[in-house]
């Protein structure tokens, strides 16, 4: 993984190379960017430069080891949970083969994609104290190849407080040539004590032009690249999923259609509330990452409905795969209710993320929707 393989983020790449050339490699750095912005592949590319040098060696063996995620001085930490194969004290090293496969299939993959790949989509992965004990031991040893030792902590938001405190001791007094690269999407979920010790590298959302250009370079047609880049909203992973039709959008669309139809009916038929109760109960049985993905899908659909209602069809790209009459639905989404609907969905997302009772969260959201959807 080289800097030239990373989509966009040119300014960040230039700054990382400049600081490396000047010998200013901060031992603790935080790569923070939204979903699909490329923070993980960028961290790996930076680790390659630190481990192998700015220019590849004559045999390129170091580059090959890093690209295959098999360099002995490159370590990874990522959220995991117990599975049928790993029944207790799950840590990253137990999932190393799956991690390599996941990264190579799509370095821009999301946390939910990772959970799906190891079969824990209905669980909450975490980075715990056992994980940190393992990495502290590795990072305290001498490097195998006599140079730097690098640890990349992906989705650092999933690190619990005890793990953070344990890791801070090593970060405060790191061995020589030890580099920690934390990768996150939401720095507000990290402990302030960790943030204060890191150099922060902020990644911007990718421009539609950058997404489109990369898709064209991968062999997609002009029309495919154009539509996918608009759909992506700067998330390269979303663009790829749209083109590969693997976003579970049909299932989410069916859930959404059932939800709004029941919400519409409540005004004239109070018994339709029972349908919303059943809907909330069914969705509460899904994994939290699935629930969060559905809320994100709903947010985007309401946004597109508003655009369609205001005749901004060129900015919409939703094409129903069910009998959903999107044109009729969009008439009910206006400037009078979109802000409150979006706010309630964002609150629900936050509460799900905070391990709230999902059935109660979706029921509360549904009852509010019955009012808001008629307030147009």
Give the tens place of pLDDT for each residue, 286-334. Answer: 888 788 888 988 998 899 899 888 888 766 767 777 788 888 888 889 9
Question: pLDDT tens digits for 108-135?
Answer: 999 988 998 898 877 788 999 999 999 9
Structural domains in the chain, sorted by start: 3-204 (3.40.50.300), 248-372 (1.20.272)
Question: pLDDT tens digits for 131-179?
Answer: 999 998 999 888 888 889 999 999 999 999 999 999 998 898 888 899 9
Residues with Cβ < 8 Å from 310, sequence gap 6 or more? none
DSSP state letter for 141: S
Statement: the pTM of the whole predicted model exceeds 0.75: no
Query: Do 158 and 126 meet the contact criterion of CB atoms below 8 Å apart?
Result: yes
Instruction: State residue 59's pLDDT score.
Output: 56
DSSP-assigned states of every residue in 242-297: HHHT-S-HHHHHHHHHHHHHHHHHTTT-GGGHHHHHHHHHHHHTS-HHHHHHHHHH
């Amino acid at each position: 993984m080289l800097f030239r393989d990373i989509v966009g983020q040119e300014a960040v790449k230039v700054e990382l190379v400049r600081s490396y050339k000047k010998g200013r490699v901060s031992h603790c750095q935080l790569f923070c960017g939204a979903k699909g912005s490329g923070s993980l592949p960028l961290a790996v590319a930076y680790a390659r430069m630190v481990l192998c040098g700015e220019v590849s060696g004559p045999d390129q063996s170091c580059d090959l080891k890093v690209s295959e995620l098999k360099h002995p001085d490159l370590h990874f930490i990522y959220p995991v949970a117990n599975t049928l194969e790993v029944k207790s004290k799950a840590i990253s090293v137990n999932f190393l083969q799956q991690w390599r496969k996941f990264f190579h299939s799509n370095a821009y993959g999301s946390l939910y994609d990772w959970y799906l790949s190891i079969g824990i989509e209905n669980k909450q992965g975490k980075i715990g104290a056992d994980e940190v004990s393992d990495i502290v031991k590795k990072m305290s040893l001498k490097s195998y190849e006599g140079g730097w030792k690098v640890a990349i902590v992906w989705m650092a938001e999933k690190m619990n407080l005890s793990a953070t405190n344990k890791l801070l001791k090593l970060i405060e007094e790191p061995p020589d040539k030890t580099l920690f690269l934390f990768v996150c999407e939401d720095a507000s979920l990290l402990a302030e004590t960790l943030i204060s010790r890191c150099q922060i590298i902020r990644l911007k959302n990718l421009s539609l032009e950058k997404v489109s250009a990369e898709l064209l370079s991968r062999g997609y047609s002009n029309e495919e690249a154009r539509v996918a880049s608009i759909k992506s909203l700067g998330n390269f992973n979303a663009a790829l999923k749209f083109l590969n039709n693997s976003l579970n959008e049909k299932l989410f669309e069916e859930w959404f259609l059932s939800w709004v139809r029941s919400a519409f009916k409540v005004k004239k038929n109070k018994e339709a509330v029972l349908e919303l109760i059943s809907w909330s109960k069914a969705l509460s049985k899904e994994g939290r990452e699935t629930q969060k993905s559905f809320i994100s899908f709903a947010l985007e659909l309401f946004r597109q409905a508003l655009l369609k209602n205001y005749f901004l069809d060129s900015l919409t790209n939703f094409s129903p795969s069910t009998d959903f009459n999107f044109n009729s639905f969009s008439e009910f989404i206006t400037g009078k209710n979109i802000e409150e609907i979006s706010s309630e969905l964002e609150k629900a997302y936050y509460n799900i993320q905070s391990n709230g009772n999902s059935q109660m969260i979706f029921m509360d959201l549904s009852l509010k929707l019955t009012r808001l959807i008629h307030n147009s």
